[in-house]
Structure 1
Amino acid sequence: MIPLLSLMVIIMGYFGLQAYSQAKKYEQSTQKLVMEKDVSKQAEYQAKAWVEKLSLGYYANEKRVLREEVISAQELHRSEAKRYTLYVMGMLAMIFMGSLMAGLRFFTFFGALSALVVLYFGLFAPLLTVTIHKELEYIGDVVLSFESKSLLGSVVKLWESGDIAIALAILLFSVLIPLTKTLSLMFVSVVMESRFAHGIVKFFKVIGKWSMLDVFVVATLLVYMTGNGSDVSHAEVQVGLYFFLAYVIVSMLVSLSADKMLERVK
């Protein structure tokens, strides 16, 4: 059972890496499209579009062709990122079912290991993209700003903008504590007969309710708020949010499993 579960975790990690890669490619293609829609380039695009219309098709607007290619690549990367994210969630469910059949100890260890994998991608994968644009007369839709943020990226931005206390709070409760908790639960499943195991689980049961959903919601709202306020016209959730949400759910289940496992040892 251990080799099979280990293989499933590796496959899940591979799918997660592919989802992360596609999400970054989507981010890059979006940035490329944004660069083509600043004021000067958008004005040039509209001028060439009018020339193309007046020439009755004899003149081809190369910028239109370029944009269509970028938009096509953008949609492909977005759909691929979502597809691989679904694969990750499917493998996660299979790991849970397989380890649960093997016993609480296996469930706790491999559940915590799986949580560590999705936490990693939840921290580094893009969490949210924010686009600020404005419709200008005769020029059309102009993009004023574009930002794509991961959870760690939002912490860095808050730190650089001077919101050090908030950045440290998010870093502590959404990064450091979840990471320490997950590693500790793996350790507990290995040495569950030790007298230290009960103390570790009890400690994280006390602080766990302060380090998960509520702070996660606050972190997400802060990402929205750091997109330059009221001018934000479009915000799109990315795969990093799904990975972090999966971690929150898995971590809760593994904590309950570890607690029940230690009760049986007693």
Structure 2
Amino acid sequence: MKKKKMMLLLSLLVIIMGYFGLQAYSQAKKYEQSTQTLVMDKEISAQAEYQAKSWAEQFSLGYYENDKRLLREAIIHVQKEHQLEAKRYTFYVMAMLLLILISAFLTELRQFTFFGGLAALVVLTFGLFTPLLTVTIHKEFEYIGDVILSFESKSLLGSVVKLSESGEIAVAFVILLFSILIPLLKTLSLMYVSVVMESKFSHGIVKFFKWVGKWSMLDVFVVATLLVYLTSSGSDVSQAEIQVGLYFFLAYVIVSMLVSLSADRMLQRMKG
């Protein structure tokens, strides 16, 4: 009965975590859209019109109101709201994830390995599709002000696509293999091991991914993040801002290592 209750609780935590993850992803995409709207409003022609209206507002002594200023302020307000909401829902995801990790002290290794793997799969999915970095290229022009020249919001999967489209096939393949395909295969395999732990094949799976994990996680993730930053074109001023996708992927790295250890201990106990 206790085992069934724990299974039900863990299933509920994973579902809630998935819901919060969807909300975080949605808010991150809305932040991206509102930023793109702001970028269009700060292109050179739009910025010139904005500056002209600002001067007219100043010289009119309050009789003329710059409608573009009001619109821009509204966009900035919405943009900040979406960013705060994305971070808030990401915090909720991490809280649910922490509760699942704490369950390792309250349930058997087999159950924890399965649900820990399931939780890792959830955060990995959001880590692949949610923007992890936004890069804004802007320049200050005399009389016009700050003009945004380009804006890019990149997820890990989107960065692989961009690298392949720009001809960097080898680099794109390395990131695709070690930061996407192997993590997906590893997580699914660990969940499979928890279901059929009696199979001799299970020991080979855990041993293989313990070896591969040393090369496929943190250092390659750092390289992937740097490549995302470096793929943006240079200009006078570049502003890179970390987004919530980075936290999802980092959470996956940590959880997958713990689940790997759990699976290894589970099989060692079975052998003993």
Q: Distance in 1 between matches of 2:200 and 2:236?
A: 56
The equivalent residue for 2:156 is: 151
Alignment of 1:98-247 (within 5 A): 98-229=103-234, 231-247=236-252
Q: Distance in 1 between matches of 2:236 and 2:206?
A: 45
TM-score with structure 2 setting the length: 0.96
**Does the Cα contact within 8 Å between 2:13 and 2:96 map onto a contact in 1?**
yes
The equivalent residue for 2:46 is: 41
Q: Distance in 1 between matches of 2:126 and 2:227?
A: 19
- The structure 2 residue matched to 1:5, chosen from 6, 10, 19, is 10
Q: Give the deviation of 1:100 after TM superposition.
A: 3.5
**Does the Cα contact within 8 Å between 1:20 and 1:121 map onto a contact in 2?**
yes
RMSD of the alignment, in Å?
Answer: 0.8
**Does the Cα contact within 8 Å between 2:139 and 2:237 map onto a contact in 1?**
no
**Does the Cα contact within 8 Å between 2:137 and 2:235 map onto a contact in 1?**
no
Q: Give the deviation of 1:12 after TM superposition.
A: 0.2
Q: Distance in 2 between matches of 1:166 and 1:217?
A: 14
Q: Which amino acid aligns with 1:27?
A: E
The equivalent residue for 2:3 is: none
Q: Give the deviation of 1:231 after TM superposition.
A: 4.1
Q: Distance in 1 between matches of 2:111 and 2:102?
A: 11
**Does the Cα contact within 8 Å between 2:43 and 2:148 map onto a contact in 1?**
yes
Q: Distance in 2 between matches of 1:120 and 1:96?
A: 18
Q: Are residues 1:65 and 2:47 paired? A: no
Q: Distance in 1 between matches of 2:90 and 2:234?
A: 30
Q: Which amino acid aligns with 1:218?
A: V
**Does the Cα contact within 8 Å between 1:100 and 1:106 map onto a contact in 2?**
no
- The structure 1 residue matched to 2:81, chosen from 65, 69, 76, is 76
Summarize deviations over 1:26-56 as a string: whole Å, max 9, x none.
Answer: 0000000000001110000000000011111
Alignment of 1:78-93 (within 5 A): 78-93=83-98
Q: Give the deviation of 1:232 after TM superposition.
A: 4.9
Q: Distance in 2 between matches of 1:2 and 1:104?
A: 12
Q: Which amino acid aligns with 1:122?
A: G
Q: Give the deviation of 1:99 after TM superposition.
A: 4.3
The equivalent residue for 1:17 is: 22
Q: Distance in 1 between matches of 2:110 and 2:228?
A: 37
Q: Distance in 2 between matches of 1:35 and 1:91?
A: 38
- Residues matched between the structures, number: 266
Structure 2 residue matching 1:233: 3-state secondary structure: strand
* Cα 1:194–1:84 shift into 2, 3 Å: same
Q: Which amino acid aligns with 1:170?
A: I
Structure 1 stretches (4+) deviating beyond 6 angstroms? none
The equivalent residue for 1:263 is: 268
* Cα 1:231–1:166 shift into 2, 3 Å: farther
Q: Which amino acid aligns with 1:250?
A: V
Q: Distance in 1 between matches of 2:153 and 2:19?
A: 23
Structure 2 residue matching 1:59: 3-state secondary structure: coil
Q: Distance in 1 between matches of 2:59 and 2:11?
A: 63
Summarize deviations over 1:124-176 as a string: whole Å, max 9, x none.
Answer: 00010000000000000000010000000000000000000000100000000
**Does the Cα contact within 8 Å between 1:23 and 1:81 map onto a contact in 2?**
yes
Q: Give the deviation of 1:227 after TM superposition.
A: 1.0
The equivalent residue for 2:36 is: 31
Q: Distance in 2 between matches of 1:57 and 1:242?
A: 46
Structure 2: runs of 5 or more not aligned:
1-5
